[in-house]
Amino acid sequence: MILRQVRDTKDDAEAVRLTAHAAFAASHEAKGDPPEEPDENGAILLRSVVRHLARTDPSGCWLAMDDAGRPVGTALSTRREGTWGLSLLAVVPDAQGKGLGKALLARTLAYGRGCLRGLICGSRHPHAARAYRTAGFTLHPAMRLRGTVDHAGLEPPTGAVVEGGPGQRDLMDSVDRRLRGGAHGPDHTEMLRHYQCIVSDDLAGSGYAYLLDGRVELLAATSRRIAARLLTAALLSLAPGAAARVAHLTADQEWAVDVGLAAGLELTTAGYVCVRGMRPPAPYIPSDLFL
């Protein structure tokens, strides 16, 4: 078994994608969840993000190859102004139970050595929860909202919500620092390539959100009022009958639960938000990939 850094190449990006797909497909099957439909747009996004992280955090991104040169595991992590995050940890089914996941996690944790804060969006897989707790993370049970939005249940947001872009980078980094101790920095450039961005900024506070195909990928705000305004605007922007998904909601995000329930979404438990050296950021909805 060889562990090496992920390179900024098409081949390595595809190797990471295939490894993650195999691992997550097996996890869905084990939990009795329906298989995910092929998503070429999602594949394009993941390949791009892998290459982005290989450029910004080469020492935090790892690929495991077996003796035949087949990719069997991967881990991606970031450091942003003293805040470390685990973006991905995946091991293909036939390589699980052999200590590979532990070895990959150790490489990413070593990359984060010296960071005061850490953040992981953990699945409900018991082995993952054990690994993150053993690494010193506090596990906060999380909830997920999903379903079809009932527009009639939502009041139009009071206050302006506008399209975001590169001109709001300083505002977004400022909100990041206040909530998670470190700006997303170059990640905003990557997210703006793939996601719709909305921003709100007035006397009540500041905030932003990234959206894609009905999913709230990331939301950060300096007040619950602004956060609820952004989430409401995001849900109302969906076409009638479109599916919505809002994940990684801890008990600190009741403002999001209230908005989602008013919109007719179904609330279920799903995984953990794992933190070290910090409380779960709030009001905040973390991103799987960018945290």
First to last CA, the chain: 29
Confidence of residue 38 (pLDDT cuts 50, 70, 90): low
Distance separating alpha carbons of residues 232 and 56, to the nearest angstrom: 33
Query: For residue 142, what are the contacts with CB-CB under 8 A and spacing of at least 6?
Result: 121, 247, 248, 249, 250, 269, 270, 271, 272, 273
Phi, psi of 231 (to 5 degrees): -65, -40
Distance separating alpha carbons of residues 172 and 183, to the nearest angstrom: 8
Confidence of residue 245 (pLDDT cuts 50, 70, 90): very high
Q: For the chain, which residues make up each domain, given as ranges? A: 2-115, 145-285
pLDDT of residue 182: 97
> Tokens for 132?
């993150």
Task: Please tell me the pTM assigned to this model.
Answer: 0.94
- Which CATH number is 145-285's, of 3.40.50.10790, 3.20.20.70, 3.30.70.3040, 3.40.630.90? 3.40.630.90
Query: For residue 32, what are the contacts with CB-CB under 8 A and spacing of at least 6?
Result: none
Q: Residue-wise over 152-187: b if at least 16 C-beta within 10 A, else e?
A: eebeebeeebeebeeebbebbbebbbebbbbbbebb
Domains 2-115 and 145-285 share a fold: yes
Distance separating alpha carbons of residues 146 and 247, to the nearest angstrom: 8
Radius of gyration of the chain from its Cα atoms, rounded to whole angstroms: 19
- Which CATH number is 2-115's, of 3.90.550.10, 3.30.450.20, 3.40.630.30, 3.40.50.2300? 3.40.630.30
> Tokens for 212?
């894609």
pLDDT in tens, 147-188: 999 999 999 998 999 999 999 999 999 999 999 999 999 999
pLDDT in tens, 85-133: 999 999 999 988 889 999 999 999 999 999 999 999 998 888 899 999 9
Choose among 125, 288, 96: nearest CA to 195.
288
Confidence of residue 37 (pLDDT cuts 50, 70, 90): low
